[in-house]
Amino acid sequence: MPDSPFGFGFGGAPDPNDPQQMQQFMSQLQQMFTAPTSGGPVNWDLARQVAQAHLTGGRGMPGGILGFGLPNLIGMPQAGELPGGEEKEAPVGDPPVGAAEKAELIEALRLADLWLEPESELPSGLTVPTAWTRGEWLAATLDVWRKLCDPVAGRIVGAMSELVPEEMRGQMGPMSAMVTSLGGALFGSQLGTALGSLAAEVLSASDIGLPLGPAGTAALVPANIKAYGDGLELPADQVRLYVALREAAHQRLFSHVPWLRGHILTAVEAYAAGIRVDREAIEDAIGKFDPTNPGGMQEIALDGIFTPDDSPQQQAALARLETALALVEGWVSHVVDRAAGERLPDVVKLGEAFRRRRGAGGPAEQTFAALVGLELRPRKLREAAALWAALTEHRGIAGRDALWGHPDLMPDAEAFGDPEAYARNEGGADVNFDELFEELSKNDPPEENPEG
């Protein structure tokens, strides 16, 4: 990869006496003000390259947007600088996954899946167990992020375009498209930074509770698992197996509950569709931008630009999203702790550490929430885990997992208030388990190369 996403990592304008540099500069400038190739509101090519630069460096963010020093054009720092001219911190890195390490992680996934077998009626979802670098996680999940982020991004970019006075829009001609493209580039740049930060934190393909990766692919991110385990001060093999258990449990749900993947993504999209962008907040933020400060654009705060709609439809969408995330994470937490049980000596510490981590959300998740207005952490994780535990006690493993047979069978948010009462109530639990799990097994993904 070049030193910057657009190939000029050392800052400074192109040499006017160098025809090759000038030709490349003009070509990239034209690319900058051309509509995004994805057809959506975000320049996803730029987002991907900025995210990758966050991991592998190349002197950090490009100067201007093009890697040249163009601070007076849009107010961005020079390459390798933070706002105020400070030197940017070193990139987080993207170490490769060696063959031996990959084999070890695949074996951990298979062992974890074996431990889960007696704890769930849902079949194994490990069609393709593998290990990813941070960059591979980014590449494998980008299509889902595009689907989730475009609705909100479209409103932000639209709000930026509306800052141009209405009486001037008709006179701008092609310039109006240029403003829209610039808005998509600016948002793509910030989104790329947020996704790059997420790539440096996530432990597996399903770590944040969304089906981000390809169906049937269970993937661990060893560089992040090691960094997280170092902070816990617990044995590395136990941390690795606990993460593998969580990933394998997520894959059982996402692979064998046919409606779940679409249900969660639709819930996210429905909530995002009701988020309003406060045009005045954007105008106020941009109004504080000082064009003489090269870092000014990076200092624009996005906090407060999102205003959730208080309509019944939006409240219902938010409730569906929060309940769906909590039920998935609660089930995973419950079955993983049962499977780890007597096998991992530090299972209690590991379980508590992961619940705190998922409940609070890491810095990258918080950045992402500020950028697109979506909090992806489950608010009722402990309550949901207690509900699944009560269901296991009163209805058994088969009765508990039968609820995944159809969205209408699933507990609602009210069930979190009194798990014991809900679990004892057999209403809606009169299900033919044999027929149900035979039907679920029809959704088994086809066999693929298990080495990924």
Which DSSP string do the residues of 36-58 spell out, in sequence order? PTTSSSS-HHHHHHHHHHHHH-S
**Higher-confidence residue: 399 or 9?**
399
Contact 185, 224 (CB under 8 A): no
378: left (phi over 0), alpha (psi -120 to 50) or beta: beta
Strand partners, 219: 130
User: What's residue 34's pLDDT?
Assistant: 54
Contact 47, 189 (CB under 8 A): yes
**Higher-confidence residue: 268 or 142?**
142
User: What's residue 443's pLDDT?
Assistant: 54
| Residue-range definition of the domain harbouring residue 70 | 39-91+135-198+275-299
In a domain, 73, yes or no: yes
Same domain, yes or no: 321 and 356: yes
Q: What is the mean pLDDT of residues 217-229?
A: 96
Q: Is residue 159 pLDDT above 90, yes or no? A: no
Q: Is residue 307 pLDDT above 70, yes or no? A: no
The pTM of the full predicted model, rounded to 2 decimals, is 0.78
- CA pseudo-torsion sign 126, 128, 134, 140: negative
User: What's residue 340's pLDDT?
Assistant: 96
Q: Which three-class secondary structure state does DSSP give residue 293?
A: coil
Same domain, yes or no: 117 and 241: yes
Same domain, yes or no: 190 and 320: no
Same domain, yes or no: 127 and 139: no
pLDDT class of 272 with cuts at 50, 70, 90:
confident
Enter the tokens of residue 93. Answer: 């890195």
- In angstroms, rounded to a whole number, what is the distance separating the alpha carbons of residues 211 and 255? 10
In a domain, 32, yes or no: no
pLDDT class of 281 with cuts at 50, 70, 90:
confident
Q: What is the mean pLDDT of residues 122-148?
A: 94
Choose the weakest-confidence range: 168-172, 421-425, 436-440.
436-440
- In angstroms, rounded to a whole number, what is the distance separating the alpha carbons of residues 343 and 359? 25
Choose the weakest-confidence range: 173-182, 209-218, 219-228, 252-261.
173-182
DSSP 11: -
In a domain, 65, yes or no: yes
**Higher-confidence residue: 280 or 106?**
106
Same domain, yes or no: 153 and 255: no
Neighbours of 417 (CB within 10 A): 11
In a domain, 22, yes or no: no
Q: Is residue 383 pLDDT above 80, yes or no? A: yes
Enter the tokens of residue 298. Answer: 């990076």
Total number of domains in the chain: 2
Same domain, yes or no: 293 and 413: no
What average pLDDT does the chain have? Answer: 77
User: What's residue 428's pLDDT?
Assistant: 45
In a domain, 316, yes or no: yes
pLDDT class of 100 with cuts at 50, 70, 90:
very high
